[in-house]
Amino acid sequence: MARLQVERLGGLAGLGGPLSRIRSRGEIDCQSLSAADRKAVDKLFESHARPKSTRSKPKTLGRDTFTYRLTRATSDGEETIEVPESLLPESLFGCVRDELV
């Protein structure tokens, strides 16, 4: 895992939605993360890779909460997951920047 793309979605502004004029995204070199944060990111991807029947039902998020879309390159291609803000390692928040589209 060399680079991790991070995109913030949702909230009151509807970031990342089809009508949104604001996009919040960034990219971070995984080697710059602490070992604990790299392990936390790996666990997030592993937990989403399980068969759907073993996953717990996702909680409904409020209108003012964010979801983060994480994308990383693997030997099989790109892998993308979406996780609630509460599960994201704090060190990933700083790489996300807002931009008008």
- Summarize pLDDT for 88-98 with one digit per residue, the tens: 999 999 999 98
- Residue 6 sits at the vertex; the CA angle it makes with 74 and 49, to the nearest 5 degrees, is 45
Alpha-carbon distance of 22 to 15, in angstroms, equals: 6
For 42, the 3-state DSSP assignment is helix
The pLDDT assigned to 99 comes to 87
Tens of pLDDT, residue by residue over 10-65, are: 877 666 676 777 888 999 998 899 999 999 999 999 998 655 544 444 454 556 78
Sheet arrangement for strand 97-100: 77-84, 66-74, 3-10, 22-29, 97-100
Q: Is the pLDDT of residue 83 over 90?
A: yes
Provide the residue range defining the domain that includes 84. Answer: 3-95
Is residue 100 a part of any domain in this protein?
A: no
Residue of higher predicted confidence among 8 and 57: 8
Tell me the torsion sign for CA atoms 90, 91, 93, 94.
positive
How many domains does the chain contain in total? 1
